[in-house]
Copies of this chain bind each other. A is one copy, B any other.
Amino acid sequence: MYDFDAEMAHCANDVERALGDRLSAARLSGPGPAPERLVDAMRHGSLEGGKRLRPLLVRQAAAIFSVPAERTLPAGLAVEMIHCYSLIHDDLPAMDNDDLRRGRPTVHKAYDDATAILAGDALLTHAFDLLADPDCHPDASVRIALVTELARGSGAGGMVGGQMRDIEGEQGQLSPAEIATMQAMKTGALIRASVRMGAILGGADARALAVLTAYAEASGRAFQLADDILDVTATAEALGKAAGKDAALGKQTLVATLGLEGARKHLADTVNAALSALRTFGPKADGLRATARFFASREH
């Protein structure tokens, strides 16, 4: 029986320790020494943070192909660095203008806007450094496939493009289809990349990769739906950020178009779609199954 809470905690622990190790002046140096203030801001925006769900997905997808957890850590860190940089940039006054993240000052509040922009840029850049390192995988062609996957998932046709669509959506009414596209890119694309990167580490064939992509896309939708429902139903204290903020900002979500009960029904259907995609895999996919269920339960 897969113990989701234990596995998530274990993974988060591994990620925290490895990020702390990687984000040091010594490890970040290039032609010159990484400046202390920049390293500190990168650490502030990455450490003591979150559930580390994306590295967990890399690990769980790779587990289907019997890849040991520790061998997925560099790829997991790379995805997590992309996630953290996106939060740092999204929190900026020019974007969402958030002062708090997980109950702590955001990077631009703890430092300043310029440092936050640069810390985000440096984390984004370092993600690709990590993937290119032989520690990530001995085969250069696998590492290159990971670079392509992460770049596509996080670039103009993925996460960054989704953030752009989200900002554009604040200025006008989006249709449910446009909301779905925006969310599939803003949140879904990096979840998709995480699962696919785990599959790539495991040497998945085209068929397995397609099945896992279907799982990842449904899971990403579930994750975003649960998040949108949470924004409407939770208290600020439970969220660690202002509740109802999306609605106040005029952000378009499916809760607004489907209603709360409609959204909950849609969430249950979406999780079932994610679980169905995993039918061809045996108990080695229990990790991914548990995560899809966890995504749906976040609203409670």
Please give the residue numbers on chain A whose beta carbons come within 8 Å of chain B beta carbons, in ascending order: 28-35, 37-39, 42, 85, 89, 92, 94-95, 112-115, 117-118, 120-122, 124-126, 128-129, 131-133, 140-141, 143-145, 147-148, 150-158, 160-165, 167-168, 181, 184-185, 188-189, 192, 217
A-B CB contact pairs (8 Å), 16 listed: A31-B152, A31-B153, A31-B185, A31-B192, A32-B161, A32-B184, A35-B168, A94-B113, A95-B114, A95-B117, A117-B117, A122-B155, A128-B128, A128-B150, A129-B147, A144-B144
Q: Is A38 a contact partner of B151 (Cβ separation < 8 A)?
A: no
Q: A152-B129, A156-B28 are in contact. Are A35 and B161 (CB under 8 A)?
A: yes
CA distance A77 to B92 in the complex (A): 29
Could you say which of B118, B124, B141, B189 contacts A121, with CB atoms under 8 Å apart? B124
Q: Is A125 a contact partner of B160 (Cβ separation < 8 A)?
A: yes
CA distance A170 to B225 in the complex (A): 46
Could you say which of B39, B89, B158 contacts A156, with CB atoms under 8 Å apart? B39
Q: Which residue of B lies closest to A183 (CB)?
A: B32
CA distance A162 to B150 in the complex (A): 26
Give chain B residues whose Cβ lies under 8 Å from the Cβ of A32.
157-158, 161-162, 181, 184-185, 189
Q: A114-B95, A132-B144 are in contact. Are A161 and B89 (CB under 8 A)?
A: no
* A interface secondary structure, majority: helix
Q: Is B94 a contact partner of A114 (Cβ separation < 8 A)?
A: yes
User: A189: shortest Cβ distance to chain B, in Å?
Assistant: 5
User: A160: shortest Cβ distance to chain B, in Å?
Assistant: 5
Could you say which of B38, B144, B161 contacts A38, with CB atoms under 8 Å apart? B161
Residue of A92, A148, A151, A192 contacting most chain B CB atoms (<10 Å):
A151
User: A121: shortest Cβ distance to chain B, in Å?
Assistant: 5
CA distance A238 to B107 in the complex (A): 38
Give chain B residues whose Cβ lies under 8 Å from the Cβ of A168.
35, 37
Q: Is A30 a contact partner of B140 (Cβ separation < 8 A)?
A: no
Q: Is A153 a contact partner of B30 (Cβ separation < 8 A)?
A: yes
Give chain B residues whose Cβ lies under 8 Å from the Cβ of A185.
30-32
User: A83: shortest Cβ distance to chain B, in Å?
Assistant: 13
User: A39: shortest Cβ distance to chain B, in Å?
Assistant: 7
CA distance A141 to B133 in the complex (A): 11
Give chain B residues whose Cβ lies under 8 Å from the Cβ of A34.
155-157, 161
CA distance A196 to B115 in the complex (A): 28
Q: A37-B164, A161-B34 are in contact. Are A126 and B151 (CB under 8 A)?
A: yes
User: A155: shortest Cβ distance to chain B, in Å?
Assistant: 4
Q: Which residue of B lies closest to A154 (CB)?
A: B125
Q: Which residue of B lies closest to A220 (CB)?
A: B31
User: A41: shortest Cβ distance to chain B, in Å?
Assistant: 9
Give chain B residues whose Cβ lies under 8 Å from the Cβ of A35.
156, 161, 164-165, 168
CA distance A35 to B159 in the complex (A): 11
User: A266: shortest Cβ distance to chain B, in Å?
Assistant: 19
